[in-house]
Structure 1
């Protein structure tokens, strides 16, 4: 894991998988999620599929820079992402964003179109209007702080329960491990609150999505309790060169049994961009 500073002066923590000579595939995480939420096994499988995979901590989470004053939007987070590519001397990359990270990815494609080769948008939406589980999000951000590592893990497991897929067993062992790693790296629930504010302070992207012209694959699960799959349908209707896949019985997570399909969908979409 390495720190880098963007041209705008934002410090971001990142790591990579695979051959640096292969096409870059940049993964953007969701609300309050450390980059470790992109499972290392999934990253290795994406690297084996032919990519130089990069994942990073968004601002206000993990080991990246904190913004205690808040006041930023998803556009600022998209600028961070473009700045990361600049700092790493990567002219453009294939972009994969999940949940809030998918919203940042949309904004990146709108504000920095030359930096985006293709898009993969995973259980995300063009606006906060599609956050079906807003009460669940608000409850998560207003819980008391954990007093120790065990309590932080228990809170994390409880938070992730609402993301479970109705058709696939949730990987509790990995989530428990992940919750502990996140606590050890940086436990800062206030950063999540500021990211929620960024979501709320960002404008609806619906009027602008027709400007996205890169090949785009849109993936959602029909068992998602947090973001309505209708958000993916709306994006598909607005982005001309897009394909929509709704995975049956998938929730707001990436179940391991679906990884082969998801990796294939991402890889096939990047091939369309290369063509």
Structure 2
């Protein structure tokens, strides 16, 4: 495992490394903060680099934790090889464990957003011994869950139609300027309708991700990956890991009451609402989100 130490940013110690996982894939991994603090693994959503976790959020979380974020397969600086070596979505959960193994982290707090929250549910089922706690937001309950007498399937709305239209264009070839406009518009819809949206804030994020990735190509591998083997929602009834489900009231991907349904399926779960939160992480939401996460990870069992 080759390690490169980065210059300190704002006094925050950071390191980068590459971790080899299954099927010949190599993942970019960054750690931030004091390795002596409790580890916290950030698991990002589909087709999104680990840089999707805002720098400001990493910095706030690192005051109490040794923070780890990484690029999924086929994102960022990790290996891009889906068309030659396809994999199921559930393999991405195994990658998260491989990152912990490579860093010699026996147990960690794990935070998952969107698809990352789906992967955290799989970790709760298959690797509970590796989790100190779990935090999930922007995610739906795994399929196959036991019926909920209070929330029927028809009570669970699907994604905003504007997102479905944008997702139909995933993976299309666009010149950098057009791709940047597409990504900013995508974030605008994901942000929801309450918090102000700053075009330049998200344009700057996407420029940094493109520089980090070395390409403006729009990743779409996770949308093509096999989704079988994840109809396991009923098994979450046996979960005892302290779990926080964050309700994002403005989420256009998994709108309410998705978070409530998920929390009710996990006996050890607590449901907390972060007002204004959608399916994006603008700077305005970072302080309350960080405070909500650290309030959970700081609890004693």
Q: Normalising to structure 1: TM-score of the pair?
A: 0.89
Larger radius of gyration: 2
Q: 1:7 to 1:92 in 2, by over 3 A?
A: farther
Q: Secondary structure at the match of 2:261?
A: helix
Deviations 1:80-130 (A, max 9, x none): 000111111111110000011111111112111111110010111114786
Asked whether 1:73 is paired with 2:100, we answer no
Deviation at 1:141, TM superposition (A): 4.4
Which of 78, 85, 89 is equivalent to 1:64?
78
Q: Paired residue for 1:133, among 159, 167, 171?
A: 159
User: What does 1:1-275 align with in structure 2 at a 5 Å threshold?
Assistant: 1-6=16-21, 9-48=24-63, 50-66=64-80, 67-69=82-84, 71-127=86-142, 132-133=158-159, 135=161, 136-137=163-164, 139-142=166-169, 144-147=172-175, 149-184=176-211, 185=213, 186-189=215-218, 191-192=219-220, 194-198=221-225, 200-272=227-299, 274-275=300-301
Consecutive unaligned residues of structure 1, counting only runs of 5 or more, are none
- For the Cα contact (< 8 Å) 2:142–2:232, is it kept in 1? yes
Q: Which runs of 5+ in 2 are unaligned?
A: 1-15, 144-152
SS at match of 2:281: coil
Aligned-CA RMSD value: 2.2
Measured in 1, the distance between the counterparts of 2:267 and 2:186 equals 35
Partner of 2:122, secondary structure, is helix
Of Structure 1 and Structure 2, the greater helix share is in 1
Normalising to structure 2: TM-score of the pair?
0.82
Check conservation: 2:192, 2:252, Cα contact below 8 A: no
Q: 1:71 Cα shift?
A: 4.1
Deviations 1:14-54 (A, max 9, x none): 11111111111000111111111101111001112x10111
Residue 169 of structure 1, CA deviation: 0.9
The superposition leaves residues 216-257 of structure 1 with CA deviations (integer Å, 9 ceiling, x where unpaired) of 111122111111222211111111111112333322123433
Is the CA contact (8 Å cut-off) linking 1:236 and 1:244 kept in structure 2?
yes
Deviation at 1:261, TM superposition (A): 2.5
State the number of aligned residues: 270
